């Protein structure tokens, strides 16, 4: 009787879960099916589309790498140290997740525009971050950095403290302990965080469109094609971009798997 009840419950849960999966998959599959091979091929050789995809990929990649240098040590501190105001710091880190991205774009624009201190300094060197890849990078980083920090923090928390203590006792400096023990053992989570940050940055539209309409990253291009020409013209760009994103993620996942770390 009890067994049967569990069986029925599992069926109900599986049905509800199936609906969610369908909700995610149906629009995507529909979009792929509605796009003809000719349209896709035409888009794949469209210079504007290719330039925007390339721009999106490399800005997102460089942004992730640049911010990793300061975010990973911060994640380590958050995982290992208890300090006054730690909860507040954690709150700040998660702030970009909860605020509307267009509002985030406004904030970034105010931060880098020619009226701001940074903007004025850049102008002295003949730079204007608004409508510049640096502005796009700032908008991408702002909305995606919590994913890296949180994932890396989870990774460091999973590294047993006694392994670090053992390394210190074996004569290693704190820096060597970090690079030879903590970082390799948290690596899996850090790679996940890097991929998440990269993906989130790449797909950002709201914040980027306010900071830089041009040069055009792919999410902005899709929006522009939809606005100017309609669904039919926006669809092949979307399909191509999704395809390339998936390909990049699969490659990154495979690369991160190649080196087998012990994990936690």
Partner 1 sequence: MLVINKLNINFKEFKISNINFSVDKGDYFVLLGKSGAGKTLILEMIAGLILPKSGKIFMDNKDITYAKIQSRKVGLVFQDYAIFPHMSVYENIVYPLKSKKINNKESRILVNNCASDLNIRHLLKRSPKTLSGGELQRVALARTLILKPDLLLLDEPLSSLDIQLRKDLRSLLRKLNKNGQTIIHVTHDYEDAVSLANKIAVMHEGTIVQRGTPKDIFQNPKSEFVAKFIGTKNFFKARIESQGKENLKKAYINSKLIIFLYTETESGEGFIKIRNKNIILSDKKIEMSTQNTFKGKVLEIIPAHFGFEILIDIGVELSVLISKESLEKFNIQEEKYMWVSFKASSVKFYKGY
State the residues that interact with partner 1 by CB under 8 A.
160, 162-163, 165-173, 176, 180-181, 184-185, 261-262
Nearer to partner 1, 170 or 228 (CB): 170
- H or E stretch covering 64: helix 47-80
CB of 185 to partner 1, least distance (A): 6
Taking the C-alpha atoms of residue 233 and residue 56, their distance in angstroms, rounded to an integer, is 19
Nearer to partner 1, 168 or 248 (CB): 168
CB of 260 to partner 1, least distance (A): 8
Taking the C-alpha atoms of residue 100 and residue 177, their distance in angstroms, rounded to an integer, is 40
CB of 82 to partner 1, least distance (A): 11
Taking the C-alpha atoms of residue 40 and residue 242, their distance in angstroms, rounded to an integer, is 12
- Distances in Å between the Cα of 217 and the Cα atoms of 192, 214, 236 are 24, 8, 15
Taking the C-alpha atoms of residue 67 and residue 114, their distance in angstroms, rounded to an integer, is 23
CB of 165 to partner 1, least distance (A): 5
Nearer to partner 1, 38 or 82 (CB): 82
Nearer to partner 1, 102 or 180 (CB): 180
- 215: preceding bond cis by omega (within 30 degrees): yes
């Amino acid at each position: 009787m009890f067994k049967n009840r569990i069986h029925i419950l599992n069926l109900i849960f599986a049905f509800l879960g199936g609906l969610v999966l369908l909700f995610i998959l149906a629009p995507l599959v529909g979009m792929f099916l509605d796009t003809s091979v000719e349209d896709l091929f035409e888009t794949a050789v469209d210079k504007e589309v290719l330039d925007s995809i390339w721009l999106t990929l490399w800005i997102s990649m460089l942004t992730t790498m640049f911010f990793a240098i300061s975010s990973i040590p911060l994640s380590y501190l958050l995982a290992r140290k208890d300090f006054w105001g730690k909860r507040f710091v954690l709150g700040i880190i998660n702030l970009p997740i909860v605020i509307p991205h267009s509002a985030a774009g406004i904030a970034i624009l105010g931060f880098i525009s020619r009226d701001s201190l940074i903007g004025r300094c850049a102008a002295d060197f003949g730079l204007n971050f608004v409508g510049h890849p640096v502005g796009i990078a700032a908008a991408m980083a702002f909305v995606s950095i919590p994913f890296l920090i949180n994932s890396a923090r989870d990774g460091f928390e999973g590294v047993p403290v006694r392994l670090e203590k053992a390394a210190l006792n074996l004569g290693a400096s704190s820096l060597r302990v970090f690079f030879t023990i903590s970082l390799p053992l948290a690596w899996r989570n850090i790679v996940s965080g890097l991929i998440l940050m990269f993906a989130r940055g790449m797909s950002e539209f709201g914040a980027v469109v306010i900071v830089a309409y041009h040069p055009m990253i792919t999410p902005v291009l899709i929006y522009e094609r939809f606005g100017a020409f309609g669904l039919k013209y926006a669809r092949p760009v979307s399909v191509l971009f999704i395809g390339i994103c998936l390909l990049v993620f699969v490659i990154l996942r495979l690369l991160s798997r190649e080196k087998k770390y012990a994990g936690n």
